[in-house]
Amino acid sequence: MPSPSLPSVASPAGVIEPRAEPSIYGRAFWLAYLANVLLVCANSLTFRFAEFVRELGGTETNSGEIVRAGLIAAMVSRFWLGGAIDRHGAGRVWIASGVLYVIGALAILSCTQLSPLIWCARIAYTVGLAGMFSCSMVHIQAQAPPHRRTELIGSLGSSGFIGTIVGTQLNDLLFNSMVRAAGSGALVPSPFRFTWLFGGAAVLGGLHMLVVYLLTRGENHRAPARTPAAHHLLFQHWPGLILLVAATMGSGFVVTTVFLTRFATATHLQGISTFFLAYSVTAFSCRWIFRGFSQQAGRHRMVLYGLFGMAIGQWLFMAVKNDWQFLFPAVASGFGHALLFPAVVSLGAGRFPVQYRGTGTTLVLGFTELGTAIAAPLQGQLIDMGNARAPGLGFTWMFLAAGIAALLTGLIYAATAARVPDADPTFPLIADLDGMGEECADTTEDLENDADDGRNLSKAEPASS
């Protein structure tokens, strides 16, 4: 497992030459990368959930309420999920979450009407998905020294964009599949399209668990001597306004992952694959191009650029009349997501000591779900109210509101938290060698935690190799 590089003894010329670091892109990283591709691809197949609810006789408001129920359950689960990861290790909790995810996806397939079953199925699916993503983030943070944590989170996240490209292409292909009706011979939508979508999500979830088993087998997890309650840790190591940013990011995900397919259907567009292809290519490229941006310009600047990109992307949706016009919001939104997510996770989880990083990561991601849970029913109601006045007006209201939320959050963050200088810490955090004095490399509160990470990283969760 990579370990933090420490400065070597000063040379006779008085020049400090840091030792070379082991590569953070080894077997563990690439197995985690493959696992994330499979998981995001699986989740992308379920982007037609609002369409499924519609086919069962529901409305956009019903879709938002069901999604909210799942997210509330996921948020509640995080109060024990983080502690479970800290106590038992990411590997075991990861597999258990995957089992719950597969059960939820298969249960959705059995729904033939809007009944309590679809609510329970969505809850199981969302709680399982939250656990899988949380374990992935916790595990990858243990594979790098603190000063490269943001880089590795962003690099792993690029795999999600590959999964999104593949998943959304499959999504449109399966959803738009046609069969000939018996008797008339006319082409009609396949009655099995939702079976293929949610069944495919379950199969890919199973493959994901297989890769996770290969990734985490043989790891020895050392549990902390005590595991405080999640809410005590949250208040003790309060991450600050980055939690508002996480919630705003979650509200933006509602647009693209829940209601964008309904927008495409209502405006007679072919589907969502054009948007997600451009979105993912842009975000993937930006992740690799700007992977060192956190150390060069600081994570606060990443947050601000990400929020403004997100706002512009939401507003550009209002001008989409043809499929190719999805390219414009896709580029802006992809740029915003590429910078925003790794900065939010790094800033938020970095405030927690390494032995409680599982709890910290899950709580930060929980605020993303909080934003989604709040926004989903509200945006669904906006769509229904606006469309009752004029066809398509509700979607315009939704895009406008989501963009305003991102812009306001960016302005608040710029006036408060972003005024404190920040950059990913680099080693040595404090130089005091041969009378050189002290030079602080980071002025944020997580400096002490990052220093602790460097000393304790090998005790947290060893890499599989």
Give 419-454 as a DSSP string. GS------SSSB--STT----BS--STTHHHHHHHH
CA within 13 Å, CB half, 465: 6
**For residues 407 and 74, which has the higher predicted lDDT (pLDDT)?**
407
pLDDT in tens, 61-89: 898 889 889 988 988 888 788 778 878 88
432 falls in which pLDDT band (50, 70, 90)? very low
Measured CA to CA, the distance from residue 438 to residue 72 in angstroms comes to: 46
Residue 369 clears pLDDT 70, i.e. is over it: yes
3-state helix, strand, coil in the chain (%, to 5): 70, 0, 25
Residue 14 clears pLDDT 70, i.e. is over it: no
Mean pLDDT score across all residues of the chain: 81
Q: Poorest-confidence range of 187-191, 245-249, 359-363?
A: 187-191
What b/e sequence results for 267-281 when a residue is b if at least 16 CB atoms lie within 10 Å of its CB, and e otherwise? eebebbbbbbbbbbb
Measured CA to CA, the distance from residue 205 to residue 423 in angstroms comes to: 36
Q: What is the mean pLDDT of residues 130-144?
A: 84
Residue 465 clears pLDDT 60, i.e. is over it: no
In this prediction, residue 197 carries a pLDDT of 93
In this prediction, residue 353 carries a pLDDT of 81
**437 φ, ψ to 5°?**
90, -170
What lies within 8 Å, CB to CB, of 154 at 6+ separation is 287, 290, 291, 294, 338, 341, 342
* pTM to 2 decimal places: 0.68
Measured CA to CA, the distance from residue 303 to residue 422 in angstroms comes to: 11
**401 φ, ψ to 5°?**
-65, -40
In this prediction, residue 227 carries a pLDDT of 67
Q: What is the mean pLDDT of residues 410-418?
A: 91
Tokens describing residue 335: 């740029």
Residue 274 clears pLDDT 80, i.e. is over it: yes
pLDDT in tens, 209-222: 999 999 988 777 66
pLDDT in tens, 421-430: 775 554 333 3
**Domains of the chain in sequence order:** 27-220+238-460 (1.20.1250.20)
207 falls in which pLDDT band (50, 70, 90)? very high
Question: Which amino acid belongs to residue 344?
Answer: V
178 falls in which pLDDT band (50, 70, 90)? low
